[in-house]
């Protein structure tokens, strides 16, 4: 957690008490107090473990980490390849806590190029007091959040938006963000949740002055150079080696990990590689979400709600994996929601999935664990499905290969030509045509505003949400994708840009970090660089993962084609709150501004007409209840929280 507030004039004193307020705002949650240093019209704040300011009591004391010209460095996060960087710099070993000093040395040696040499998850600020400018950098792919504000006289950058408001900046929601988020458009990386407060994107450099922010991306997954190896099996061996390195780097400094474990490839792979990295007498706590008792046991088409059998099968293969199952009984989507607003500064996209993550963190802490592992980036990396590979074959005229893939990969009961049209031709069509075809076949909703989207249609038109989504490449109908490159390029628009704030909020709330080896940059880049046939060949999808994990994961997991449904028991949880939610909608409807944003009459009608049983999967009522109602009320509560109303 870091922060910098500075004025245009070095001689201008900062407002009385600003340093204390700024530091207090960055001291929320777990992690110890932040320390402020004030000098030359600027306040610098950091928490211990972030290349922190020495708490000497001297208000002019600057951070110990400085670049060669004496400019101080603020750093939050971690550097994974410390030994490699220190050796390349010819430097002695840097103290384990002081990644800021290592970053300063790397920047002194390589300038902006340091951020492609460093591997980790971090954000860094270098303050140049003579020039009255701050150089900002966030690591590629994933990074801790940085929020930025300026008004011509002052500028602030901080790990949380809340710290910016502690500097006297007015706190107001960004109405466009509210509208876009309710339309599931998270494609504008720089747009945060507050008016005039920007979010600094991962993989970018920037210069911040009182007059504004200049931004320059320095890394993009689309720019990764292709990798071609001699033998087919070389790709599996290379992925295996990188996965091992990623797991080793992820576990560095931790001794008692837990893992958020599902029935899918990604987290199960992380569990297996973590067990191989741990000492032979160490165990791994596996924490798995299961439905609440009383769940009706109904699975939506293509999904399964209870993943415990898949986890037990993995534990039967690996006796040092100790599974525990979390049903989060009695909790609903609003569990600890105000805390999440405070710590993360966002309205969580999927509140129906957040409550059990709180329970998972609490369970891990109660068992004495010091880190939670996950495989959140696996679908974009080693277990990528290969979506978009067949349309690419069609465009390239690779007819023989395409014919073979369709012949071997088509689903039972589907014709060859039907599969060809659906998987190879349809993804090439304009999305509007694809959506029309989907509506005709009943595979996509006729209108988002009748199903999962809670926006008032009039306000949606006023905020231009549909056109903005199209401009950003966000497809709310989830049409087939025409290339693997596009599949990777648009992945962050599904909500990944929110991940830094959400995860930081969870860390602050629970005091236990989460780490994901599947998002380790060398593994990410390798998986983006290899040919499509490593993911789809001879009718087999997710081919790299299936070969990599053969013999490591149970056959029932490797053969599984369904997806785990995390909110399978939503009728129980939402049904318990039904009357209270109707009353809340009635109160919110009396607020003209809130009623203009959200279609409360439709949501209320759906709750009133609902008898508490599960509607048919995929029906408009099911989508309204499980998606639109919780998302609308989460967002409405966030707005009222920002406005200072804490009445729930």
The DSSP code sequence of 339-401 is HHHHHH-S--TTGGGTHHHHHHHHHHHHTT-SEEE--TTGGGTTT---TTHHHHHHHHT-HHH
Counting Cβ atoms within 10 Å, is residue 596 exposed (0-12), middle (13-18) or buried (19+)? exposed
358 in a structural domain = yes
Contact 445, 479 (CB under 8 A): no
Where is average pLDDT lowest: 53-62, 64-73, 212-221?
53-62
Indicate whether 559 and 633 sit together in one domain: no
Indicate whether 273 and 373 sit together in one domain: yes
Indicate whether 260 and 349 sit together in one domain: yes
pLDDT tens readout for residues 581-634: 999 999 999 999 999 999 999 999 999 999 999 998 778 899 999 999 999 999
Please tell me the distance from the alpha carbon of residue 533 to that of residue 149, in angstroms, as a whole number: 46
Q: 């103290």: which residue's tokens?
A: 95
Q: 């349309």: which residue's tokens?
A: 391
Query: What's the maximum distance between 2 C-alpha atoms anywhere in the chain?
Result: 77
Indicate whether 157 and 255 sit together in one domain: no
pLDDT tens readout for residues 132-147: 999 999 999 999 999 9
310 in a structural domain = yes
123 in a structural domain = yes
pTM of the model: 0.93
Indicate whether 378 and 310 sit together in one domain: yes
Indicate whether 184 and 209 sit together in one domain: yes
The residue out of 188, 218, 248 marking a domain boundary is 218
Indicate whether 214 and 243 sit together in one domain: no
The residue out of 536, 564, 592 marking a domain boundary is 564
pLDDT tens readout for residues 92-147: 666 655 889 999 999 999 999 999 999 999 999 999 999 999 999 999 999 999 99
- The confidence score (pLDDT) of residue 542 equals 95
**Average pLDDT over the chain, rounded to an integer:** 91
The residue out of 564, 582, 611 marking a domain boundary is 564
Indicate whether 118 and 244 sit together in one domain: no
Average pLDDT rounded to a whole number, residues 158-181 = 96
Indicate whether 244 and 206 sit together in one domain: no
Indicate whether 91 and 187 sit together in one domain: yes
Q: Provide the residue range defining the domain that includes 503.
A: 232-383+496-564
Q: Is the pLDDT of residue 50 over 60?
A: no
369 in a structural domain = yes
Average pLDDT rounded to a whole number, residues 512-526 = 96
Confidence band of 492 (pLDDT split at 50, 70, 90): low
Q: Is the pLDDT of residue 18 over 50?
A: yes
- The confidence score (pLDDT) of residue 443 equals 66
Q: How far is CA 294 from the centre of its chain?
A: 31
541 in a structural domain = yes
- The confidence score (pLDDT) of residue 220 equals 92
User: What total number of domains does the chain contain?
Assistant: 3
Q: Which two tokens stand for residue 552?
A: 């490591």
Average pLDDT rounded to a whole number, residues 139-163 = 96
472 in a structural domain = no
Confidence band of 54 (pLDDT split at 50, 70, 90): very low
165 in a structural domain = yes
510 in a structural domain = yes
pLDDT tens readout for residues 343-362: 999 999 888 889 999 999 99
Indicate whether 193 and 264 sit together in one domain: no
Domain with residue 17: its CATH number is 3.60.20.10
Confidence band of 569 (pLDDT split at 50, 70, 90): very high
Indicate whether 31 and 151 sit together in one domain: yes
């Amino acid at each position: 957690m870091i922060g910098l507030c500075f004025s245009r004039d070095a001689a201008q004193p900062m407002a009385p008490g600003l340093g204390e307020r700024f530091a207090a705002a960055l001291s929320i949650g777990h992690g110890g107090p932040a320390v402020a240093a004030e000098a030359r019209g600027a306040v610098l704040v950091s928490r211990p473990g972030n290349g922190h300011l020495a708490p000497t009591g001297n208000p002019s004391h600057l951070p110990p980490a400085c670049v060669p010209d004496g400019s101080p460095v603020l750093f939050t996060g971690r550097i994974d390849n410390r030994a490699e960087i220190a050796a390349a710099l010819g430097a002695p070993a840097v103290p384990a806590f002081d990644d800021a000093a290592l970053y300063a040395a790397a920047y002194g040696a390589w300038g902006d190029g340091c951020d492609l040499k460093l591997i980790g998850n971090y954000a860094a600020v270098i303050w140049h007091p003579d020039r009255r400018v701050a150089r900002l950098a966030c690591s590629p792919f994933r990074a801790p959040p940085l929020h930025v504000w300026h008004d011509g006289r002052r500028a602030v950058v901080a790990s949380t938006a809340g710290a910016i408001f502690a500097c006297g900046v007015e706190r107001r929601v960004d109405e466009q963000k509210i509208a876009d988020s309710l339309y599931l458009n998270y494609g504008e990386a720089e747009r945060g949740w507050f008016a005039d407060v920007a979010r600094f994107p991962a993989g970018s450099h920037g210069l911040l002055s009182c007059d504004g922010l200049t931004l320059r991306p320095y890394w993009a997954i689309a720019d990764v150079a292709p990798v071609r190896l001699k033998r087919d099996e070389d790709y599996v061996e290379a992925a295996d080696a990188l996965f091992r390195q990623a797991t080793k780097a992820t576990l560095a400094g931790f001794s008692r990990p837990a893992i958020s474990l599902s029935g899918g490839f990604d987290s199960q792979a992380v569990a297996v590689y973590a067990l191989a990295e741990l000492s032979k007498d160490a165990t791994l706590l596996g924490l798995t979400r299961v439905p609440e008792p009383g769940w009706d046991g109904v699975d939506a088409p293509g999904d399964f709600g209870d993943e415990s059998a898949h986890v037990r099968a993995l534990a039967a293969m690996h006796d040092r994996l100790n599974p525990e199952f979390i049903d989060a009984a009695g909790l609903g989507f609003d569990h600890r929601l105000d805390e999440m607003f405070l710590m993360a500064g966002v309205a969580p996209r999927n509140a129906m999935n957040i409550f059990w993550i709180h329970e998972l963190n609490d369970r891990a802490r109660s068992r004495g664990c010091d880190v939670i592992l996950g495989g959140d980036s696996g679908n974009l990396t080693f277990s990528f499905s290969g979506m978009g590979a067949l349309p690419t074959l069609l465009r390239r005229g690779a007819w023989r290969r395409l014919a073979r893939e369709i012949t071997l990969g088509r689903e039972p009961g589907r014709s060859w030509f039907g599969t060809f049209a659906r998987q190879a031709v349809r993804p090439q069509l304009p999305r509007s045509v694809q959506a029309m075809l989907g509506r005709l076949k009943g595979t996509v909703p006729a209108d988002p505003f009748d199903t999962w989207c809670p926006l008032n249609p009039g306000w949606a038109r006023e905020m231009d949400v549909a056109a903005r989504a199209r401009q950003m490449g966000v497809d709310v109908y989830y049409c087939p994708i025409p290339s693997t490159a596009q599949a990777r390029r648009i992945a962050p628009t599904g909500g990944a840009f929110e991940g830094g704030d959400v995860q930081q909020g969870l860390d602050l709330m629970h005091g236990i970090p989460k780490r994901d080896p599947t998002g380790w940059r060398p593994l990410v880049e390798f998986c983006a660089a290899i040919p499509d046939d490593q993911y789809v060949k001879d009718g087999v999808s997710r081919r790299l993962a299936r070969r990599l994990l053969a013999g490591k994961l149970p056959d029932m997991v490797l053969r599984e084609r369904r997806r785990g449904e995390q909110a399978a028991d939503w009728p129980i949880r939402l049904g318990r709150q039904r009357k209270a939610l109707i009353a809340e909608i009635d109160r919110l409807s009396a607020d003209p501004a809130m009623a203009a944003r959200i279609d409360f009459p439709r949501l209320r009608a759906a709750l009133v007409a609902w008898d508490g049983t599960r509607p048919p999967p995929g029906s408009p009522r099911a989508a309204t209840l499980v998606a639109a109602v919780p998302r609308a009320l989460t967002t409405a509560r966030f707005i009222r929280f920002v406005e200072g109303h804490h009445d729930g």
